[in-house]
């Protein structure tokens, strides 16, 4: 039977046996804890390092902030936004115009209105973010250049074609003045979202205070395109068409005749009603002599719009159509197979005489019809002489009268140079399948050159 000392010794040995297990278990937990902490530290360091690398290369954009802003704009009712917007009078017409906008245009309008309500400039939330130096800034740092670089547009997605057009707009002083004049004269009549966005980005790109800072295309101009690469000329046409549409919408109900405006002004004076400030300013400006002695027009012409005079003539009969005047805002010229071209050579090629084959000619059609009817009458006379005893003199006479009537109509159209579609189809009874096609010459010249000529190569 073991004694007390043996039992104590057994317990003591058991205690000495289990102590190393507990120590090893603690060491294992500590060893597992250290790699886990190392992974967390490495992950945090990688995030910080990646942030500074992207910031150094100027690859960080305010995507998160822009997303939050878009969500706030989306969930805020448009009726509340337009009611609180002091920059635009909220009435039934404004509400109706807002409901008729597309989803993208309505979102852009709400965004601009909320920025005005909060006292922020457009895109100010984006421009207040710190920007890292771009790759060009790195090159300037190595070269020791201290001269600030001009502002530019960022190209985060497939928007290089947009940037080229907007930067081209920024170089046109006449366009900047045109937008400013429209906003001043017509801005209180209708929303000018495209005007405002284009004017703002032009001012930023031309302002020395934005030198070295990267700007981003406003959402009003961005919504006209998509994420896919497009043609720059197509985007140019969309922007100009939207500008013209805003002008037409705001100018609806206004007359360009000075005399009629005087009548309206006198009528309002007799009625005791006030003359609108815009109409009064138009009348005064029209009759205010300018420096060169001419009267200033109430509305400025689009500096990108010119007039193209075109002449088309038939190379067979010699008939030449009258000069047709066509408005244009962009000239499309083509290149040949040479390695280099002068733009003046392209313009000369554009205005040279061009031969177009297979074009329908109304005069050639009438001349051929006249000849055919003349031959038909001669044939009727010859047949009548050979068949004097025929039993169908009435049929021959009816055919002769019909041919003579048509011949007189055709000859009258040739004398009056009446080559309209109505004359050919209804009066002369010439169907489309019997028309004559010939080779015509076409020549186009610039009748009125725009202040800023846009050429699409």
Residue-level pLDDT at 172: 92
In the prediction, which pLDDT does 17 show? 45
Longest dimension (CA), the chain: 168
Rounded mean pLDDT, 321-350:
87
- Is a pLDDT exceeding 70 seen at residue 134? no
Asked if 377 contacts 403 with a C-beta cutoff of 8 angstroms, the reply is yes
If you average pLDDT over every residue of the chain, what do you get?
Answer: 72
For the cut 90, the answer to whether the pLDDT of residue 178 exceeds it is yes
Which alpha helices (H) appear in 128-276, and where do they start and end? 135-143, 160-170, 173-186, 193-206, 219-222, 232-250, 258-271
**Secondary structure class of 209 (helix, strand, coil):** helix
Relative to beta strand 436-448, strand 354-361 is antiparallel
In terms of pLDDT, which residue wins out, 273 or 456?
A: 456
**What mean pLDDT comes out for the span 364-387?**
84
For the segment 269-291, what is each residue's pLDDT rounded down to a tens digit?
Answer: 444 444 443 343 343 444 444 44
Residue 86: what pLDDT?
56
The label of the residue with tokens 């010249």 reads 445
The most confident of the ranges 109-118, 289-298, 343-352, 391-400 is 343-352
CB-based contacts of 219: which residues, under 8 Å, 6+ apart? 107, 108, 111, 197
Residue 91 has pLDDT above 80, yes or no: no
- pLDDT over 50 (residue 346): yes
* H or E, element range at 17: helix 4-56
307 pLDDT higher than 90: yes
- Comparing CA positions, the residue from 66, 59, 231 lying closest to residue 162 is 231
β pairing state of 152-153 and 324-328 = unpaired
432 pLDDT higher than 80: yes
Beta bridge partners of residue 153, listed in sequence order: 215
**Per-residue pLDDT tens over the stretch 100-118:** 556 666 777 777 777 777 7
Better-predicted residue by pLDDT, 283 or 392: 392
Q: For the chain, give every domain's residue range.
A: 306-380+404-457
**Residue 30 binned pLDDT confidence (cut-offs 50, 70, 90):** very low
pTM comes to: 0.54
In this predicted structure, the answer to whether residue 146 has a pLDDT above a threshold of 50 is: no
pLDDT(411) > 50: yes
DSSP for 411-427?
HHHHHTT---HHIIIII
The tens digit of pLDDT for each residue in 181-240 reads 988 888 788 888 889 989 988 988 888 877 777 788 888 887 665 555 568 888 899 999
- For residue 284, the model assigns a pLDDT of 42
pLDDT above 50 for 332: yes
Which pLDDT belongs to residue 115?
74
Where is average pLDDT lowest: 97-101, 345-349, 416-420?
A: 97-101
pLDDT surpasses 90 at 364:
yes
pLDDT of residue 223: 67
């Amino acid at each position: 039977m073991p004694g007390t000392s043996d039992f104590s010794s057994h317990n003591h040995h058991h205690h000495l046996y289990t102590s190393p297990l507990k120590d090893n278990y603690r060491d294992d937990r500590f060893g597992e804890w250290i790699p886990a902490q190392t992974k967390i530290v490495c992950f945090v360091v990688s995030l910080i390092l990646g942030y500074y690398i992207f910031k150094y290369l100027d690859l960080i954009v305010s995507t998160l902030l822009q997303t939050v802003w878009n969500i706030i704009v989306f969930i805020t009712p448009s009726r509340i936004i337009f009611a609180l917007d002091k920059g635009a009078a909220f009435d039934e017409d404004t509400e109706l115009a807002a409901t008729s906008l597309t989803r993208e245009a309505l979102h852009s309008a709400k965004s601009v209105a909320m920025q005005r309500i909060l006292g922020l400039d457009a895109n100010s939330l984006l421009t207040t973010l710190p920007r890292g130096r771009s790759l060009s800034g790195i090159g300037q740092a190595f070269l020791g250049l201290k001269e600030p670089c001009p502002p530019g547009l960022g190209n985060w997605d497939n928007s290089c074609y947009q940037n080229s057009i907007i930067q081209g707009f920024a170089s046109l002083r006449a366009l900047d003045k045109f937008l400013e004049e429209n906003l001043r004269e017509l801005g209180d009549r209708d929303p000018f979202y495209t005007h405002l966005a284009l004017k703002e980005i032009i001012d930023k790109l031309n302002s020395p205070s934005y030198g070295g800072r990267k700007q981003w295309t406003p959402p009003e101009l961005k919504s006209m395109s998509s994420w896919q690469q497009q043609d720059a000329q197509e985007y140019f046409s969309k922007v100009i068409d939207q500008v013209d549409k805003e002008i037409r919408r705001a100018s609806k109900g206004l007359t360009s005749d000075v005399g009629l405006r005087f009548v309206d002004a006198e009528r309002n004076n007799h009625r005791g009603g006030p003359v609108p400030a815009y109409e009064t300013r138009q009348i005064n400006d029209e009759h205010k002599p300018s420096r060169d002695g001419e009267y200033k027009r109430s509305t400025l012409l689009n500096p990108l719009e010119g007039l193209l005079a075109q002449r088309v003539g038939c190379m067979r009969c010699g008939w030449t159509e009258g000069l047709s005047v066509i408005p244009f805002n962009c000239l499309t010229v083509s290149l040949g197979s040479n390695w280099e071209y002068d733009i003046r050579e392209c313009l000369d090629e554009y205005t040279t005489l061009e031969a177009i084959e297979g074009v329908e000619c109304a005069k050639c059609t009438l001349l051929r019809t006249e000849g055919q009817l003349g031959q038909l009458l001669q044939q009727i006379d010859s047949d009548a002489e050979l068949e004097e005893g025929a039993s169908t003199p009435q049929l021959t006479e009816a055919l002769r009268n019909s041919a003579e009537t048509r011949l007189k109509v055709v000859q009258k159209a040739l004398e009056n140079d009446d080559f309209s579609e109505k004359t050919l189809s209804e009066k002369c009874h010439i169907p489309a399948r019997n028309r004559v096609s010939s080779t015509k010459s076409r020549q186009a010249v610039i009748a009125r050159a725009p202040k800023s000529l846009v050429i699409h190569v």
